[in-house]
Structure 1
Amino acid sequence: MCGSSVTPFISFGKQPIANGFLKKEDFGKEYFFEMQVCHCQKCNMVQLAEQPDREQMFNENYAFFSGTSTHMARHFEQFAQTVRTRFLSEAKDPLIIEMGSNDGIMLRNFKGWGYRHVGIEPSANVAKVAQDQGVNTLVRFFDEDTTELLLKQYGQADVFYSANVMCHIPYIGQIFKGISRILKPSGVLAFEDPYLGDVIEKTSYDQVYDEHTFLFSVLSVQYLAGLHGLEIFDVEAQETHGGSMRYYIGHKGQHGITAAVENQVLKEKALGLASLATFEQFRKNCEQSRADLVKLLTDLKRQNKRVVGYAATSKSTTVLNYCGISSDLIEFISDTTPNKQGKFSPGQHIPVLAYENFKKNYPDYALLFGWNHKKEILEKEGDFMARGGKWIVFVPQVGIE
């Protein structure tokens, strides 16, 4: 990000496309890359050393739809209301732009209120869901050409937003350059992504996968924003995705900086997010977590216990391939997303079956890949637990609940 050299501190080995759920006939065509993670001592950015081409990850077969989670729908509705009251109450005919708008789960709120809005979504299949709901969506990547198109057709934005997208983009400098141009002088960039501090504290290494080029901290985002005449003026910790941070950014001097920014910087320094030693310890914690999970699953297999994976998430791809877990240890993965069902998990090729298969014959144990939706899942699965079903968890440590 800053042009300096980076220091590798962990490799998760050969990893496939995390959302690349595949059919049996495609087993021999899979793409793998060395998933190594690095730290920059100058700008404090944590990043992948290598990332697949964007078209391999985001395309007409993209398998993640935000709208499948009622929890996330509420989250984005609350955020939209916050933006409306905090930044748009006195704006005249405001424009809201969202990068990586997925199936329109956030922008549909602004559509309902009659605001001008534009979603930028490169995956045609999820963009179509938004378009079918009347959410104004362009099927393309946000880049220099898109910036010019937006300025020409819509003018500058009052709010530019992205959720769990900014961390996907290796050419982050171009993104911030474009945003600095597209924002009005008083405009606000708000984005949220999985937070490095939570990953370190919880050993939630499954937050690292092909799409996540970066793991942001306030320290690294401060540096990035400053390169483009921008500054963080507020931050808010979020529970989503197992621990995220929302950053509010504007042109320098345009917004009063809250105490939350400096408080978070102090916390990060205390946590050691500017020290390579912290990341070396994280590597050791990951290795221990891997050993503990494999041992637990192997012990359950010896006891002839049935184990099923719960939720075929992108994050599960990292866990399964880093730990070498195959269908020898996990019978299948249950998932509610139609275009994952009947396919196989990337790399390890564990069958992905419809949720009904989980309900009609409960396993002894369910490995909770969707741990970041734990509260929502446990509320839903009272019958499974009442019948003696138990959960295997691996964040913040391996265990049975």
Structure 2
Amino acid sequence: MRGDSATCRICAGRVDPWCDFGRQPVSQAFRSPGETADEYFYRLTIGVCAVCTMVQHVERVPPAMMFHADYPFRSGSSAAMARHFEQTAEQLVADERLTRRDALAVEIGCNDGTMLAAFRRAGVRHLGIDPSRAAADIARDAGSPVRVEFFSEATASAVRTTEGPADVVFSANTISHIADVCDVFRGVATLLAPNGVFVFEDRYIGDIVRQTSFDQIYDEHCFLFGVRSVAELAARCGLELVDAVPIPVHGGSIRYTVARPGTRTASPQVARLAEDEREQGLHDPERLRAFEQRVTATRDELVGLLTKLRAQGARVVGYGATAKSATVTNFCGIGTDLVEFVSDSTPEKQGLLTPGMHLPVRPPSAFCDPYPDYALLFAWNHAEEILAKERAFSEQGGRWILYVPKVHIV
């Protein structure tokens, strides 16, 4: 059941549902053992707007339930992502000449300050904005200024008054999390210097559909951005999409560059990618429903494999208590009968239970004492880094189970 059409949060057009993942919990709401009775659930259904083409959730989870003082994710937990942010900062510093004394870079959703640290090392005046006090404290302790709040038009006005206009506003894997995204874009328009740019990275709907990476769809990702929908969003808020660069981060993302109309020459790639989306049917709910059929097939194959392995007496554990693993475990019904526990390096998650299916989260020491027979890799988007780190697991005969782009064992 997909439910009735809804109203688009961008343009108030009709949103046609095309994929339903059923009852889902808040993806980062890890629970203490014995404290699961009042767990919040919602219906995870996504649809596409018939007018502006934005792919979005039909039901909205209250932002304060997802992003709060104790939000457990930390940007710096991945060495590969830390390198990515370092390189991105270096590129922005060079391209936008941020070494000028009056230059300002602002990051929306700065988390623990991994990106801000790169600006700081380059000598760039910078400011982070994030609603998680625990994460912001890490950035502050390292020497970066952070405002603990949600970014909005009002926030942007206050920052411009105290700090001046921003030459660069940057954000990574955050803008799609914000239901009132029009307010964010209006805030960017308020904050940007006349020739400033808004550069943000987010997972790409084209890659999600192509790879059947259905776990990229969870509560935090209110929107699944495409080039055409971002161009429509920017235009409705007085801005212009001037570049769109595919990057491999998180299994396939795009780095968007937005500026004031007429201040930058738009890259031909914007039009090319928008046309590719039209040809792929990324705006057509009927063509998109084939994705749901592939997701169902993946679920059945994964559960079948785990059931067979456990029946044979094999030990299976999960690796990476990621936000997206909530979609997999709850949609597939993966409990402790199929996966013993999930190993994760984030201290804030250890000793707790995963949302919905309540798999125990244990530290990395539990993963190797003793090693299991199989590890279900929820953090598949960091597979290269993880497989290199856990070489000893493979060398002693351990096998990895992955489910993107299809169920397979390595």
Please report the TM-score for the alignment, with normalisation by the length of structure 1: 0.98
Q: Write the distance in 2 (CA, Å) between the matches of 1:40 and 1:23.
A: 39
Match of 2:355 in 1: 346
Map 1:190-339; keep pairs closer than 5 Å: 190-339=199-348
Q: Contact 1:312/1:333 (CA < 8 Å) preserved in 2?
A: yes
Give the counterpart letter for 2:68 in structure 1: N
- The number of equivalent residue pairs is 401
Instruction: Give the drift of 1:42.
Output: 1.0
CA contact (8 A) 2:157 2:190 kept: no
> In structure 2, how many angstroms separate the alpha carbons of the residues matched to 1:89 and 1:256?
20
Query: CA separation in 2, counterparts of 1:278 and 1:189?
Result: 32
Residues 1:5 and 2:35 are matched in the alignment = no
User: What is the identity, as a one-letter code, of the residue corresponding to 1:211?
Assistant: E
Q: Does 1:57 align with 2:75?
A: no
User: Which one of 106, 116, 124 corresponds to residue 115 of structure 1?
Assistant: 124
* 1:46 correspondence with 2:55: yes
Does structure 1 residue 95 correspond to structure 2 residue 113? no
Deviation at 1:90, TM superposition (A): 7.5
* 1:183-228 alpha-carbon deviations (Å, 9 max, x no partner): 1110000000111000000000100111100000001001001112
**Cα displacement (A) at 1:89:** 5.6
**How far apart, CA to CA, are the structure 2 residues paired with 1:8 and 1:275?**
11
Q: Cα deviation per residue 1:160-183 (whole Å; 9 max; x = unaligned)?
A: 011000000111111111111111
| In 2: Cα distance, 1:284 partner to 1:13 partner | 14
- 1:79 matches 2:80: no
Aligned match of 2:157: 148
Rounded Cα–Cα distance in structure 2 between residues aligned with 1:338 and 1:90:
36
Q: Which letter does structure 1 place at the counterpart of 2:282?
A: L
**44-53 vs 196-205, greater mean Cα deviation:** 44-53
Correspondence for 1:134: 143
Aligned counterparts of 2:99 and 2:264: Cα–Cα separation in 1: 16
Structure 1 segments (4+ residues) deviating >6 Å: none
For the Cα contact (< 8 Å) 1:61–1:123, is it kept in 2? Answer: yes
CA distance, structure 2, for counterparts of residue 366 and residue 19 of structure 1: 21
- CA–CA distance in 2 between the matches of 1:380 and 1:19? 25
Question: Which residue number corresponds to residue 125 of structure 1?
Answer: 134
Compute the displacement of 1:92 (Å): 4.8
2: CA distance, partners of 1:120 / 1:26:
32
State the superposition RMSD in angstroms. 1.1
**Separation in 2 of the partners of 1:235 and 1:37?**
24
Are 2:345 and 2:363, in contact at CA under 8 Å, matched by a contact in 1?
Answer: yes
Aligned to 2:6: none
Counterpart residue identity of residue 36, structure 1: T
Instruction: Give CA deviations for 1:267-305 in whole Å, capped at 9, x if unaligned.
Output: 212221122222111111111111111111111111111
Amino acid at match of 1:225: A
What is the CA distance between 1:91 and its match in structure 2?
4.5
SS of residue in 2 equivalent to 1:55: helix
1:346-385 aligned at under 5 Å gives the runs: 346-385=355-394
The answer for unaligned runs of 5 or more in structure 1 is none
Higher deviation after alignment, 384-393 or 228-237: 228-237
SS at match of 2:171: strand
- 1:345 is displaced (CA, Å) by 0.5
- Kept in 1, the 8 Å contact 2:154–2:187? The answer is no
- Distance in 1 between residues matched to 2:390 and 2:279, nearest whole Å: 39
- Which residue does 2:7 correspond to in 1? none
2:98, 2:167 within 8 Å by CA — same for their partners in 1? Answer: no
The answer (yes or no) to whether the contact 1:21–1:340 under 8 Å persists in 2 is yes
Please list every run of 5 or more consecutive structure 2 residues that lacks an aligned counterpart in the other structure: 1-9
Q: Which moved more, 1:111-120 or 1:81-90?
A: 81-90
Distance in 1 (alpha carbons) for counterparts of 2:72 and 2:131: 13
Between the aligned partners of 2:50 and 2:256, the Cα distance in structure 1 is: 22
Shift of 1:231: 1.1
Letter in 2 for 1:13: G
Residue in 2 that maps onto 1:16: 25
In the alignment, which residue of structure 2 is the partner of 1:163? Answer: 172
Deviations 1:105-128 (A, max 9, x none): 001111122221110010111111
Contact 1:93 1:115 in 2 (8 A): no
Percent sequence identity over matched residues?
Answer: 44
Alpha-carbon offset, residue 27 of structure 1? 0.7
Change (3 A) 1:227 1:299: same
Which position in structure 2 is the counterpart of 1:188? 197
Equivalents in 1 of 2:164, 2:280: separation in Å? 42
1-structure distance, mates of 2:283, 2:221: 20
Structure 2 counterpart SS, 1:226: helix
1:45–1:217 CA contact under 8 A, matched in 2:
yes
Deviations 1:282-333 (A, max 9, x none): 1111111111111111111111110000000000000000011100000000
